[in-house]
Amino acid sequence: MGLLHKKEETTDYAGERSVEEFMTFIRVYYQAVMAVNLGITNINMLPDMALFKRMLKIPTQNNKPGLAEKSRVKKVLMQDYGLGEYFFKEIDASVKKNCKSQQHIQTYFFQFQGFCQDLFGLLDNLMQWKFRLSMLVNKLMRRQITRVIHDVFTKSEWKEVNDQKRAWSIRKYAETLGYSEQWVTDFVYNILVLAKADNKRDRKKNK
């Protein structure tokens, strides 16, 4: 179990990090930014942030839900997942640009979900055999991911029409959401490293 499943406040859960927990933290950060920007006081509208707040017993800062939660989850993601300051600045700018009111929240998350589906669908197709090779070495995985994401952002001609369509769709999403090539690379790298850990745990359980 990870941080959100422990009663005591701790970030010492390196052996149990998972894709699910990482994505929960990412959603907490998004929701905290939205709470701060839009002045949302009903935190039940933001379920991941509400759970994070309750589990860690985070007091509301300056009577503004989201402020303390944003700071706390950012610290976790920086310390335990190696994400840089720029990563959060891009999320802040993205939410500010695309979420002008509470009515925009659902649309924003639909766009982000579509972006992720196209992105990982294309990566699964492009990196099938390479991913098997890179399962053993994270540095090799990062190099391959960096190169493939660069292709997604810059390559003009693809062998497969479907790959080309997906790449163009990803670029459009990235432009709309305001995410750079570096942001996407770091996001994907964390997901695939954690997927590797998830698969390793699953294999041990099934033995």
Q: Are residues 108 and 184 in the same domain?
A: yes
Domain that holds residue 173: 101-202
Task: Tell whether 92 is covered by a domain.
Answer: no
Q: Are residues 78 and 108 in the same domain?
A: no
Q: Are residues 35 and 113 in the same domain?
A: no
Residue-wise pLDDT for 97-144, tens only, equals: 999 999 999 999 999 999 999 999 998 888 775 556 555 577 888 888
Q: Are residues 107 and 180 in the same domain?
A: yes
Q: Are residues 74 and 130 in the same domain?
A: no
Task: Tell whether 138 is covered by a domain.
Answer: yes
What's the average model confidence in pLDDT over 8-18? 50
Task: Tell whether 13 is covered by a domain.
Answer: yes
Task: Tell whether 183 is covered by a domain.
Answer: yes
Q: Are residues 55 and 125 in the same domain?
A: no
Task: Tell whether 88 is covered by a domain.
Answer: no
Task: Tell whether 130 is covered by a domain.
Answer: yes
pTM: 0.87
And the tokens for 143? 């190099």
Percent of residues, the chain, with pLDDT higher than 70: 88
Query: Is residue 157 a contact partner of residue 119, using CB atoms and an 8 Å limit?
Result: no
Q: How many CB atoms lie within 10 A of CB 15?
A: 8
Q: Are residues 138 and 189 in the same domain?
A: yes
Q: Are residues 71 and 8 in the same domain?
A: yes
Q: Domain tally for the chain?
A: 2
Q: Are residues 62 and 112 in the same domain?
A: no
Query: Is residue 75 a contact partner of residue 56, using CB atoms and an 8 Å limit?
Result: no
Task: Tell whether 71 is covered by a domain.
Answer: yes
Q: What b/e string do you get for 88-112 counting C-beta neighbours within 10 Å, with b at 16 or more? A: bebbbebbeebbeeeeebeebeebb
Instruction: State which of 26, 55, 82 marks the end of a domain.
Output: 82
Task: Tell whether 72 is covered by a domain.
Answer: yes
Long-range contacts of 111-117, Cβ-Cβ distance < 8 Å, separation of 24 or more: 111/173, 111/176, 111/177, 112/30, 112/177, 114/169, 114/173, 115/170, 115/173, 115/174, 115/177
First-to-last alpha carbon distance for the chain, in angstroms, is 20
Q: How many CB atoms lie within 10 A of CB 146?
A: 16
* Per-residue pLDDT, 119: 95
Percent of residues, the chain, with pLDDT higher than 90: 70
| Residue among 108, 100, 105 at smallest CA distance from 42 | 105
Q: In whole angstroms, what is the distance from residue 181 CA to residue 152 CA?
A: 9
Q: Are residues 131 and 182 in the same domain?
A: yes
Q: Are residues 4 and 76 in the same domain?
A: yes
Query: Is residue 52 a contact partner of residue 58, using CB atoms and an 8 Å limit?
Result: yes
Q: Are residues 75 and 125 in the same domain?
A: no
Q: Is 120 exposed, middle or buried (0-12, 13-18, 19+ CB in 10 A)?
A: middle
Query: Is residue 69 a contact partner of residue 34, using CB atoms and an 8 Å limit?
Result: no
